[in-house]
């Protein structure tokens, strides 16, 4: 499988990231009851993605499945000062909020053998060091009917305790922040639209009001933004217009 064209720690013009935390592969705690670095993972390992991982995992994997996890809602409540934003203008990316009765759709990737250590090392840097996320084990329910039992999967979640956490805001305010933010991985707008497209094409039966409301707000703002920039450019090229 192809990797990201640019690994997050190689972004030019940014300070050297701190060393990665320990890999979440551990045998000190029982599955499903631990968080952070003390998780017990038995090969093969499944990794659940619900943000940019759904279209750009960045690591080699054996197979992947579209599906969902229960008890969580996806929210654009995490700040991003590296991948989709900067220290001066943080972007907005998704995290998971515990929400009884809700479910979040995404993609689970199966990694085996040497893929396990490589993928966890990569994700520790991408999600934990540069993103502020911690790890948990969740039950993943595949979309296909061939799998009856849920699969135990590793997921990265940004909690309110991390320094980049932004918390709730209106859909309009989130969209306005996304429009002006970009980072090493690209513009924040791309992040939002790709995630919305994934849900629309791969999970058409699922609802995600938060995601699609932000997309709708962004689309409604963009024409106004374009008109304003166009007016500024015209005024700069013809100062006489500003006097009329």
Q: Which residues are catalytic?
A: 127
**Cβ neighbours around 8 below 10 Å, total:** 21
Tokens 């909690």 — which residue?
159
**Cβ neighbours around 236 below 10 Å, total:** 10
Per the CB < 8 A criterion, the answer to whether 160 and 79 are in contact is: no
- 3-class secondary-structure state, position 105: strand
Q: Token digits for 45?
A: 């390992």
User: What is the DSSP secondary structure assignment for residue 124, as one 8-state letter?
Assistant: I
- 3-class secondary-structure state, position 51: coil
Helices and strands of the chain, counted as H and E runs: 4, 9
Q: Token digits for 73?
A: 């809602």
Interior angle at CA 207, CA 205 and CA 210, nearest 5: 155
Helices (H), the chain: 114-123, 171-179, 188-202, 209-237
Distance CA 114, CA 17 (A): 25
Dihedral sign from CA coordinates of 154, 160, 211, 129: negative
User: What is the DSSP secondary structure assignment for residue 4, as one 8-state letter?
Assistant: P
């Amino acid at each position: 499988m192809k990797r990201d064209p640019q690994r997050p720690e190689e972004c030019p013009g940014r300070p050297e990231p701190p060393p990665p935390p320990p890999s979440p592969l551990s045998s000190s705690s029982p599955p499903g009851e631990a968080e952070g670095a003390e998780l017990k993972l038995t090969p093969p390992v499944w990794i659940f993605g619900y943000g940019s991982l759904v279209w750009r995992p960045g690591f080699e994997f054996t197979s992947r499945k579209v599906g969902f996890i229960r008890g969580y809602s996806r929210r654009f409540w995490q700040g991003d000062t590296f991948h989709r934003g900067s220290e001066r203008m943080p972007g907005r990316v998704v995290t998971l909020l515990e929400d009884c009765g809700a479910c979040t759709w995404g993609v689970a990737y199966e990694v085996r053998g040497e893929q396990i250590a490589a993928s966890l090392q990569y994700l520790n840097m991408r999600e934990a060091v540069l993103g502020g996320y911690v790890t948990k084990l969740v039950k993943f329910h595949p979309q296909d009917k061939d799998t009856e039992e849920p699969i135990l999967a590793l997921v990265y979640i940004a909690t309110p305790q991390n320094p980049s956490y932004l918390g709730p805001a209106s859909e309009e305010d989130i969209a306005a922040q996304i429009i002006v933010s970009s980072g090493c991985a690209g513009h924040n707008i791309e992040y939002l639209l790709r995630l919305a497209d994934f849900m629309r094409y791969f999970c058409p039966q699922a609802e995600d009001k938060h995601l699609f409301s932000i997309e709708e707000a962004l689309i409604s703002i963009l024409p106004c933004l374009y008109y304003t920039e166009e007016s500024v450019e015209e005024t700069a090229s013809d100062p006489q217009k500003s006097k009329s």
